[in-house]
């Protein structure tokens, strides 16, 4: 079974407004080289995540074990090789000095000559520096949360430097300091011990959900977690999720089983069914009602579904936007703002069919759309406007029948055609876990927060808004009913 890079390449193609096949050739010829300072706390947690994130795109990847201030231990190197082989054995991690013409990335505060940029975790946060910009003294040992954010942030920088983004569609910031717990620019300044997880459910073990699982694993979390997910792990997930291998995909291991494997110190209650099934089980008295829900789903309907659990606190992560690189956190309460305040239902859909809407948007003739199984070819773009060609070019090689889904023209978007990348989902996961730490430790109190930024630009000063309940939302008009349901669900099993 070969490695499927299609979703990440479609995300890159949409971001760069480029042909996916050409972009694959470009990335396959790009050399990315790594070095690290393994003696810095947190670096050896971030290194495997960074290597895996980069391998989930078809770069030529190398690492110099002697390139930092101290060697990378042999057992770590063996683990990295195994990790890479689990994603794509045909693209190995080469152990060598920096090859000519490479993009050199360093993990640590003392980058060797030739490194284009460096990153390191400071407490729960990250510090990124491009060449020529020194690091300050680190405030706290890097945590598992900081490690994942560092790896995801460095991968985003590599992505920006290699896929050919158009001017104005991204920003390269020479100095980045960010903490996903406080949402401030002083990582490491506030790092209390992370409390044991209790009475919490993770709904969705997809791209964002596996990012959350990886963070909890690297934080060494203990306690109890219910994982609600109905689907098995499949081949396209290997390059878009934060955990899971080709062998796991071949075996169709259930995603809740992956969660158990990666959280050995936690009591993982696997619920291999839908969120609505979970709600029914709570009301039937066979599942415990969670006081906290970590949401990692990918539709408005699913977000409304997790809101109907009516937990004390819902922390929802999302990715999307035109290129799939926008990520967000939504903090929600049963009495508002709830997930329906953030995501009100759209207006009644137009009476036009999905095929007619696809024709109107792209200019593709209806008779061509009817041949849905045939892959979109360059000849199909001839005669279309520049705007229409730009909208369609990222999907060259994809079956036309999937375009209505990926372009959001149907109510049930097929997961097979969603552009996705692990480094984007991991940043959303970092916001969710950061919010969980912030709220559970009392570091942050007050109104619920909505946080949103684009991975092509990175976190910035004006990305957070404080949210209030939406007038007319069900959390306001049905407050008495919601309160009664919550009282009933609090009963012990």
Contacts of 1 (CB under 8 A, 6+ apart): 235, 246, 249, 250
Vertex 256, ends 433 and 208: CA angle to 5°? Answer: 35
CATH number of the domain at 128, please: 3.40.50.720
Lookup: tokens for 51: 């290597």
Minimum mean pLDDT range among 102-106, 165-169, 220-224, 266-270:
165-169
pLDDT at 373: 62
Higher pLDDT, residue 52 or 20: 52
Domain finish residue from 380, 410, 440: 410
Minimum mean pLDDT range among 142-146, 180-184, 380-384, 395-399:
395-399
Name the residue range of residue 440's domain. Answer: 197-346+420-488
Same domain, 274 and 168: no
Residue 415 placed within a domain = no
Minimum mean pLDDT range among 295-299, 361-365, 390-394:
390-394
Residue 186 placed within a domain = no
pLDDT at 385: 74
Lookup: tokens for 371: 């041949």
Same domain, 152 and 278: no
User: pLDDT-derived band of residue 362, with 50, 70 and 90 as boundaries?
Assistant: confident
Cβ pair 178, 126 in contact under 8 A: yes
Residue 469 placed within a domain = yes
Residue 27 placed within a domain = yes
Domain finish residue from 122, 151, 178: 178
pLDDT at 1: 67
**Edge-to-edge strand list for the sheet holding 125-130:** 93-95, 60-63, 31-36, 103-107, 117-122, 125-130, 175-178
Could you give the 3-state DSSP secondary structure of residue 467? Answer: strand
Residue 82 placed within a domain = yes
Please state, in angstroms and rounded to a whole number, the distance separating the CA atoms of residues 436 and 193. Answer: 13
**CA 348 to chain CA mean position, Å:** 30
User: pLDDT-derived band of residue 415, with 50, 70 and 90 as boundaries?
Assistant: very low
Residue 32 placed within a domain = yes
pLDDT at 420 over 70: yes
User: pLDDT-derived band of residue 412, with 50, 70 and 90 as boundaries?
Assistant: very low
Could you give the 3-state DSSP secondary structure of residue 307? Answer: helix
Cβ pair 86, 14 in contact under 8 A: no
Cβ pair 69, 108 in contact under 8 A: yes
Same domain, 324 and 459: yes
DSSP string, 341-353: HHSPPPPPPPSS-
pLDDT at 413: 41
Average pLDDT of span 408-430:
72
Q: Helical H runs in 163-232? A: 207-218
pLDDT tens string 34-69: 999 999 999 999 999 999 999 999 999 999 999 999
Mean pLDDT of all residues belonging to the chain: 91
Number of domains in the chain: 3
User: Maximum CA pair distance of the chain?
Assistant: 67
pLDDT tens string 320-346: 888 899 999 999 999 999 999 999 986
Cβ pair 106, 118 in contact under 8 A: yes
pLDDT at 384 over 70: yes
Query: How crowded is the C-beta side of 320, counted as CA atoms within 13 Å?
Result: 15
Average pLDDT of span 140-145:
96
User: pLDDT-derived band of residue 416, with 50, 70 and 90 as boundaries?
Assistant: very low
pLDDT at 137: 95
User: pLDDT-derived band of residue 409, with 50, 70 and 90 as boundaries?
Assistant: low
Minimum mean pLDDT range among 84-93, 184-193, 263-272, 364-373:
364-373
pLDDT at 391 over 80: no
Q: Helical H runs in 381-421? A: 386-392, 403-406
Please state, in angstroms and rounded to a whole number, the distance separating the CA atoms of residues 213 and 216. Answer: 5
* Percent of the chain whose pLDDT exceeds 90: 75
Cβ pair 139, 186 in contact under 8 A: yes
Same domain, 243 and 298: yes
């Amino acid at each position: 079974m070969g490695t499927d890079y299609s979703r990440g390449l479609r995300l890159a193609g949409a971001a760069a407004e480029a042909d996916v096949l050409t972009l694959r050739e470009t990335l396959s010829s790009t050399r990315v080289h790594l070095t690290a300072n393994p003696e810095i706390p947190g670096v050896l947690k971030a290194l495997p995540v960074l290597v895996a994130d980069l391998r989930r795109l078809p770069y030529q990847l190398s690492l110099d074990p002697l390139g930092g201030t101290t060697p990378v231990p042999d057992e770590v190197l063996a683990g990295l090789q195994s990790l890479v082989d689990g994603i794509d054995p045909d693209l190995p991690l080469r152990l060598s000095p920096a090859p000519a013409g490479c993009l050199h990335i360093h993990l640590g505060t003392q980058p060797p000559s030739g490194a284009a940029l460096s990153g390191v975790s400071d407490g729960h946060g990250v510090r990124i520096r491009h060449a020529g910009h020194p690091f300050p003294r680190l405030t706290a040992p890097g945590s598992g949360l900081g490690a994942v954010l560092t790896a995801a942030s460095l991968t985003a920088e590599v992505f920006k430097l290699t896929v050919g983004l158009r001017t104005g569609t991204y920003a390269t910031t020479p100095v980045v300091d960010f903490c996903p717990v406080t949402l401030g620019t002083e990582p490491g300044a506030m790092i209390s011990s992370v409390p044991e997880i209790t009475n919490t459910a993770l709904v969705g073990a997809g791209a964002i959900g596996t990012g959350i699982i990886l963070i909890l694993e690297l934080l060494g979390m203990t306690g109890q977690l219910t994982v609600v997910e109905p689907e098995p792990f499949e081949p396209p997930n290997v390059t878009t999720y934060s955990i899971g291998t080709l062998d796991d995909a071949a075996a169709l291991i259930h995603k809740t089983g992956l969660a158990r494997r990666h959280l050995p110190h936690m009591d993982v209650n696997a619920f291999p069914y839908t969120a609505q099934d979970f709600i029914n089980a709570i009301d039937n008295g066979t599942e415990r009602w969670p006081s906290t829900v970590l949401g990692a789903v990918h539709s408005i309907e699913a977000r409304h579904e997790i809101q109907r659990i009516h937990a004390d606190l819902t922390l929802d992560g999302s990715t999307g936007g035109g290129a799939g690189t926008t990520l967000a956190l939504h903090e929600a309460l049963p009495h508002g703002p709830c997930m329906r305040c953030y995501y009100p239902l759209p207006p009644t859909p137009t009476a036009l069919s999905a095929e007619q809407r696809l024709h109107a948007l792209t200019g593709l003739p209806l008779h061509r759309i009817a041949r849905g199984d045939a892959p979109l070819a360059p000849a199909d773009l001839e005669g279309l406007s520049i705007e229409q060609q730009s909208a369609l070019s990222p999907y060259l090689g994809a079956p036309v029948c999937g375009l209505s889904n990926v372009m959001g023209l149907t109510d049930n978007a097929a997961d097979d055609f969603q552009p996705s990348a692990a480094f984007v989902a991991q940043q959303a996961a970092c916001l969710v876990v950061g919010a969980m730490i912030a709220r559970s430790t009392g570091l942050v109190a007050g109104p619920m927060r909505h946080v949103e930024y684009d991975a092509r630009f990175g976190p910035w000063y004006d990305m957070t808004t404080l949210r209030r309940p939406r007038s007319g939302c069900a959390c306001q008009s049905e407050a008495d009913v919601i309160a009664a349901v919550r009282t009933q669900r609090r009963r012990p099993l």
